[in-house]
Structure 1
Amino acid sequence: MVNLPLDGSVPPALDQTNFPSLEKALKHFFGYDQFRLRQRQVIEDVLQNRDSLVVMPTGGGKSLCYQLPALLKIGVTLVVSPLIALMQDQVEALRDNGIAATFLNSSLSLTQLRQREAALLQGQIKLLYIAPERLLSDAFLPLLQRLAQTVGVAAFAIDEAHCVSDWGHDFRPEYRQLRFLRQQYPTVPMLALTATATERVREDIVEQLQLRHPALHITSFNRQNLYYEVQPKGRQAYAQLLALVQQHAGTGIIYCLSRRRVDEIALRLQQDGVAALPYHAGLSDAARQENQSRFIRDDVRVMVATVAFGMGINKPDVRFVVHYDLPRSLESYYQESGRAGRDGEAAHCTVFLGYGDIATVEFLIDRKPDPREQRIARQQLRQVIDYAESAVCRRQIQLAYFGEDFAGSCQNCDNCCSPPPLEDWTIEAQKFLSCVARCRERFGMTHIIDVLRGSRKRRLLELNHDQLSTYGIGKDHSLDDWRLLGRSLLHQRLVDETSDGYSVLKLNAASWQILRGQLAVQIAIPKPLSTAVGETSDRTPAEVSLLLGKLKALRKRLADEQGVPPYVVFAESSLRQMAQQRPQTLDAFAQISGVGNRKLAQYGQVFTTEINQFCQEHNLSPQTKNRIVSTTQTLTSTHLTTLQLYQQGLTPAEIAIERGLRLSTISDHLARLIESGQPVELDRLVSRERQAVIQQAIATMGDMPLRELREHLGSTYDYSEIRLVKAAWHQAAQRR
């Protein structure tokens, strides 16, 4: 770590001409060899003083997009951040890299404030983090004016920019006042950054901040490592929650709507032996800070919290997020569930669907003083309910909400892994869309269904919609049937809906294809939601799990000694690779992903000693990268049942439907059957062309975990086909 003076100053020669390329600057300041997706383009725009709007998912590297340009431009960059914890974490990380950064907030004494203000005016600071309230205060504005006249203001970076919009999930009125910056400093470029923003929110950000012809940078919203599911919230909801917590390893977050519910759940988990703590606005600042710190340092496993917890919390190894109560919007759900798996490892996201919670949310909506805010909130709530009740791929619904297309099934949500049966509803869809057209695309789903079912509501009669040709043609279907169809048409982008709070249906190109008979419509018919935990395809050998537990304990002890969170020592993926390969020399340990020279020198000896001792106790040898580990296990009746259905000619998807199991479970059965030498033809399951590519990857990388093979192959290859080809490779190797 570079030792900085107390005022945070660094040598002033930070002009971008000192670096022949942005990559050299990146390596010099942050130690990275290359940029992540879209980072370079954003940085180039900022260096050219162009306004920009950046939408990158959590963990995508938004901060670097303003931090690196700040070091290459003359003057100070002001970063508007809504949370004290967020700005303190960022400043600490920057100072660890030898970068002159500071913050001004209420946690500082008057003396500290004056010292930092003096350092700013002397040009010793490159990045200043500040809350919007302080930035716009009468006390700070004169200082900002002096900075502009002396040191210069390089840029304004508005972090968590969705707070500007009342269409966003975390609207903050003070953010709207930030347009003052553009009015007072029209030549200073502005960079707005957020992890979540629909098209409507993006438009609002541009309008409210008065961005001038901004460069728009949007990366994919798809978090492939997250598994999404919805469970019904029964009478024994807590028992259901406890089972879920016990099912998952690692740390997790449980979100509740009320402070009372947070305290209740945290206490009951503690009584049942789960290390859990509460977090909500009713606790003192000191208590919240203490609980948050203990969670980040893995002193407790579960944080039970209101949605006040999570923004800006830099804990990459959260393995599960549970919404015990219904989230308020799809945007907030995406943001809150996205706090799981920021390290890229697999994580689990669960929503409990309780219809009593809907009434609670509606009560909270009714307390909003602004009728427009109420209207927006009700539309957002209906979208959440549609998501929870839908039989369509969860990922497809989420990405469509942000305007991103997603074709096929993700194979990483409950609806894809245990797919419901499909039915052809083309005729019904034509009736529905025809009614939308007859109503001149001016009404929402409820009114359209009322017309189709021949309702006698006064409003409908006043509009003379009982005279339409589509009036009453849908009496043969229930209200729920038509709602199912309407939701499915929306999720599949076969009809559009306005997002201004009024939910008016609009026909699109696909709608007219359906009406002309050029496009068929298939609807997934949902099965009753089940709370039963399905079969698992986890085949981690017992010795790997045992060693992984010991390595996590060692990591925790070292982290506590240094006063840092455990993930700073090693990421979970590195520990898992150690447990799988069992390196017992420093040379072998250096080959582990995430082990650089510094970590090798700092931790190599203590970790290899722990691994050596474990191997001696269990009479184990190291697992080299290309060693073949037999995964053949005794076949059970469930595997033989799958084999019988396969021999009858059923596809894996048809077997999954027939047996009521997840498709991933059936793929696992078939993989075990292949490894055991049973008559399962791989060519029926995976095309020869794709087999060849996967086989080449295995030959290149060795017998690596599925996740690492898929990262090498790319997202066009799914886990099921990789698992099947790998099983055939194992079987062939055993024959050799």
Structure 2
Amino acid sequence: MEIEKSLFDNLQEFFGFDTFKGDQEAIITNVLNKKDTFVIMPTGGGKSICYQLPALMSDGTAIVISPLIALMKNQVDQLRAFGGNESIAHFLNSSLTKGDITKVKADVSAGKTKLLYVAPESLSKEDNVLFLKSIKVSFVAVDEAHCISEWGHDFRPEYRKIRQIINGIGENIPIIALTATATPKVQSDIRKNLQMNNATLFKSSFNRSNLYYEVRPKNKVVREIVRFIKNNSGKTGIIYCLSRKKVEEIAEVLNINGIKALPYHAGLDAKTRADTQDKFLMEDVEVIVATIAFGMGIDKPDVRYVIHHDIPKSMEGYYQETGRAGRDGGEGLCVAFYSKKDVEKLTKFMKDKPVSEREIGTQILKEVIDYSESSVCRRKQILHYFGEKFDETGCNNMCDNCRAPKTHIDAEEPLFKVLGFIKEQGDKFDDHHIINVLMGQNNQPVSSYKHDEHKLFGSGKEEGVNYWNSVIRQAELADFIKKDIDHYGLLTLTESGKKYLNNPYAVKFIINKPMEFTDEDGGDDVTQSSAALDTELLKMLKDLRKKIAKQKSLPPFVIFQDPSLDEMCTHYPITSEELKQIHGVGSGKAMKFGAPFIELIKQYVEDNNIDRPQDLVVKSTANKSALKVSIIQNIDRKIGLDDIASAKGISYEDLLKEVESIVYSGTRLNIGYFVDEMIDQDLQDEVYDYFKSAEVDSIKEALKELGEADYTYEDIQLMRIKFISELGN
């Protein structure tokens, strides 16, 4: 009873809480009783109190091993604020000066410090080990313990050495290991590595019932994100991107569209990162655009949405990042954008890794692909991944798949085929191989096992890959089969699977609805026009363009290109400012040719009562503006385009594209000096005459007409740039 009383007193006195959450009380009691403790608790469940409170109540100093300097600082600041005492908590890491380290060690030795946060790298330094040997250690807390496992989403080799170092510091030191995300495989790695097989396990449910999960195909993703944020105006959110470059780009687009956003990634200096975190916590910015470097230890309870611009590398990463939404139990919208191109990029990143790492990475990524492409309840899939059974009716329509209409099939026959094949052939094959057999794909692994002669070979061709993926995925979710994760995802029958083969019964499965991608790069182009064009307006704009072209004795494409007209028919720009946002227009062209087009569109909108989709007029960034300004300056100095390309580290072809987009937007560039160097005058005249009378500006058409013997593709492109610049701008 004594512990219980002081527990509640300390909770109230130090943290200001009246009650414990979930298993907190049992966990803290276990730690105070000097027992090894293993805590698996989802983000926002209150993990840190599980070691902070017992540390405050124990003799000596608790060592907290944590992977991130920002996380340590955040927690130490909070503890000092709660305790009103600077010495109560300290951290030891590479950010400290020698003087700081001396002060920390003096406070710890004097018994003033209850929690000492240490990075795993600092822990292994010899002088730190000697120092820790000399003090009374109450227990060791290993935070973010999944970093121990290669199967975790954030593997750190230094974490593998923790047990060895603890043994060197003293005997019988209790350990509490904590993680927010751990699959059964990662749990077993943590236990084994920290030698805590007898630890008491406390595992909370991974279900966050207030979070809504959705996966969208990556079509016009920037426009979708801007529209989403504007529809959720006044709420704070996080957007995750895989690359620093993309983080910077998206943050810039959001700001241009009137959304207060800041970028956050490891390439920014520590002060900028800290300032950004503070501004987010103080609500000076609405949105943080970040790499996965952001979020660990950021305890903002009212983040209302988390958007994944790129599909994450692992389900653990996805779960942890989405878990930053709705920590207060309120609304939490989690939207991820998925494209095959992202998967290809992530697969390419793995190519240079050692074989075992690549095999593990491929399996981890495959789980993300299955999750994204599946039509089954998202919540059920997430919880299954973490070894938790869940009935989808409990989702309460809190995911896009549960809200969508479904196609069910009688799965008895296909399920029997798959289970029968696994039983007959042994647990030697993954889903990929089995689907290849059913589809009749005669590749090397299939023929080497003589499965091209198997009775099932090609028998499932008519149903298609998507169908068989659905069957196998749901057979796993329904516990008929399981993946042997240690052996690269080979499928094995469970007890239920074996029983089913002996006594089959009616089963219904959902068939995945394939995602539809409307643009080929799954892309990011803010300015691509929508498929739903106003064809009547397009005809009127083309007629107007033709009329102006005739008056000015110019080819129509010099006025505006077709993609620009297409976009005008989607966005209906009725002011000069709006027209400038149309792809390929820019302020030069808007001033020179814009007025009659704006007039025509304005009249058309009025006459036809058109409700303009203003929220979709997404302004693009000055589109790599720094590069463009630099190109214009270099051309003014008459530097060769090939030299500019090599100085900027881009190909000559890419530079021509940049120059072309500058000119097509209405800026006049004098590239005559370079053209004269590259192309004879009589050939220049011939191309010039061709474009004067051409109906379209196609380079292929020009080459066909002028003959490919005399010109290269780049020659015509150069001449077209010069032509548009001189006549149109």
Q: Smaller-chain TM-score range?
A: 0.5 to 0.7
- Aligned equivalent of 1:390: 374
Q: Say whether residues 1:105 and 2:93 are aligned partners.
A: yes
3-state DSSP class of the match of 1:65?
helix
The DSSP-based 3-state class of the residue aligned with 1:177 is helix
Within-5 A mapping of 1:511-522: 511-522=497-508
Question: Residues 571-582 of structure 1 correspond to what in structure 2 (within 5 A)?
Answer: none
Question: Can you give the 5+ residue segments of structure 1 that lack an aligned partner in the other structure?
Answer: 1-15, 533-736
Is the alpha carbon distance of 1:327 and 1:43 closer, same or farther for their aligned partners in structure 2, counting shifts above 3 Å? same
Counterpart residue number, 1:45 = 30
In 1, the alpha carbon distance for the partners of 2:102 and 2:108 equals: 10
- Offset of residue 172 of structure 1: 1.1
| CA shift for structure 1 position 491 | 2.9
CA distance in 2, matches of 1:390, 1:253: 25
Return the match for 1:84 from 62, 65, 69.
69
Task: Output the CA distance in 2 between the equivalents of 1:43 and 1:383.
Answer: 34
**Counterpart among 46, 51, 65 of residue 66 in structure 1:** 51
* Structure 2 Cα separation of the partners of residues 115 and 474 of structure 1: 71
Give the Cα separation in 2 of the matches to 1:344 and 1:35.
16
Correspondence for 2:221: 237
Q: In the superposition, relative to structure 1, how do residues 289 and 332 fare at CA in structure 2: closer, same or farther (>3 Å)?
A: same
**Alignment correspondent of 1:189:** 174
Instruction: Return the alpha-carbon distance in structure 1 between the equivalents of residues 489 and 371 of structure 2.
Output: 15
Distance 1:334 1:519 in 2: 35
CA distance, structure 2, for counterparts of residue 381 and residue 353 of structure 1: 13
1:486 aligns with 2:472: yes
Distance in 1 (alpha carbons) for counterparts of 2:207 and 2:154: 21
In structure 2, the residue matched to 1:376 is 360
Check conservation: 1:53, 1:216, Cα contact below 8 A: yes
Partners of 1:209 and 1:69 in 2: CA distance: 20
SS in 1 for 2:422: helix
Alignment-mate amino acid for residue 61 of structure 1: G
Quick one: structure 1 residues 79 and 469, their matched pair in 2 at CA, closer, same or farther if it must change by over 3 Å?
Answer: same
Q: Is the 8 A contact 2:129 2:165 kept in 1?
A: no
Q: Distance in 1 between matches of 2:452 and 2:41?
A: 48
Taking structure 1 as the reference length, what is the TM-score of the superposition?
0.67
Q: 1:376 to 1:44 in 2, by over 3 A?
A: same
Between the aligned partners of 1:189 and 1:324, the Cα distance in structure 2 is 42
In the alignment, structure 1 residue 408 sits paired with structure 2 residue 353: no
Q: Larger radius of gyration, structure 1 or 2?
A: 2
Aligned to 1:465: 451
Aligned-pair identity in percent equals 44
CA distance in 2, matches of 1:500, 1:485: 23
So what's the TM-score if we normalise by structure 2? 0.67
Q: Larger deviation: 130-139 or 385-394?
A: 130-139
User: AA paired with 1:139?
Assistant: D
Change beyond 3 A, Cα 1:182–1:141: closer
Q: What is the rounded CA distance, in whole Å, between the counterparts of 2:454 and 2:295 in structure 1?
A: 51
Q: Which runs of 5+ in 2 are unaligned?
A: 519-729
Give the Å deviation of 1:512: 2.7
Other-structure match for 2:146: 162
Classify the secondary structure of the residue corresponding to 1:500.
helix
Q: CA deviation at 1:119?
A: 1.1
Partners of 2:96 and 2:446 lie apart in 1 by 62
Q: Does 1:421 align with 2:407?
A: yes
Does structure 1 conserve the Cα–Cα contact (< 8 Å) formed by 2:467 and 2:511?
A: no
Secondary structure of the equivalent of 1:307? coil
The answer to whether the Cα contact below 8 Å between 1:79 and 1:158 also exists between their aligned partners in 2 is: yes
Asked whether the equivalents of residues 323 and 352 of structure 1 are also in contact (C-alpha less than 8 Å), the reply is yes
Return the offset for 1:20. Answer: 3.9
After superposition, give the CA deviation of every residue in 1:268-293 in whole Å (9 maximum; x if it has no partner): 11111111111112222222222222
Residues 44-443 of structure 1: pairs in structure 2 closer than 5 A: 44-98=29-83, 100-147=88-135, 152-184=136-168, 185-234=170-219, 236-249=220-233, 250-368=235-353, 370-409=354-393, 410=395, 411-443=397-429
The number of aligned residues is: 511
SS in 1 for 2:134: helix
Per-residue deviation at 1:478? 1.7
Q: Residue 76 of structure 1 aligns to which amino acid in structure 2?
A: T
State the Cα distance separating 1:219 from its structure 2 match.
0.5
Alignment RMSD (CA, Å): 2.0
The answer on whether the counterparts of 2:437 and 2:458 sit within 8 Å (CA) in structure 1 is yes
Structure 2 distance, partners of 1:325, 1:352, is 6
More moved, 101-110 vs 167-176: 101-110
Tell me, in whole angstroms, the C-alpha distance in 1 between the residues paired with 2:407 and 2:464. 19
In terms of mean alpha carbon deviation, does 508-517 or 134-143 score higher?
Answer: 508-517
2-side partners of 1:182 and 1:419: how far apart?
55
Q: State how far apart, in whole Å, the 2-side matches of 1:346 and 1:298 are.
A: 17
Aligned to 2:540: none
> 1:114 deviation in Å?
1.3
Shift of 1:445: 0.8
CA contact (8 A) 1:392 1:491 kept: no
SS at match of 2:486: coil
Secondary structure in 2 matching 1:77: strand
1:500 aligns with 2:500: no
CA–CA separation in structure 2 for the residues paired with 1:496 and 1:66: 35
Is 2:495 the counterpart of 1:509? yes
* Alpha-carbon shift at residue 363 of structure 1 (Å): 1.2
The CA deviation at 1:517 is: 4.2
Give the direction of change, closer, same or farther, for the CA distance of 1:403–1:278 in structure 2 (3 Å limit).
same
Cα separation, partners in 2 of 1:243 and 1:85, compared to 1, 3 Å? same
Q: Show the counterpart of 2:616.
A: none
Inter-CA distance 473–531: structure 2 relative to 1 (3 Å threshold)? closer
Paired residues of 2:373 and 2:514 also in contact (CA < 8 A): no
Residue aligned with 2:202, SS = strand
Listed as ranges, the matches of 1:438-449 within 5 Å are 438-449=424-435
> Which string of whole-angstrom CA distances, capped at 9 and with x for unpartnered residues, describes residues 643-678 of structure 1?
xxxxxxxxxxxxxxxxxxxxxxxxxxxxxxxxxxxx
Distance 1:107 1:219, change over 3 A: same
Tell me the CA shift for residue 247 of structure 1.
1.8
Shift of 1:371: 1.4
Change (3 A) 1:291 1:419: same
Q: Partners of 1:434 and 1:324 in 2: how far apart? A: 40
Q: Is the 8 A contact 1:67 1:127 kept in 2?
A: yes
Partner deviation per Cα, 1:703-729 (whole Å, 9 max, x = no partner): xxxxxxxxxxxxxxxxxxxxxxxxxxx
**What secondary structure does 1:505 align onto?**
strand
Is the CA contact 1:42–1:52 (under 8 Å) kept in the aligned structure 2?
Answer: yes
Distance 1:348 1:415 in 2: 14
Q: 1:18 to 1:450 in 2, by over 3 A?
A: closer
Paired residue secondary structure (2:368): helix
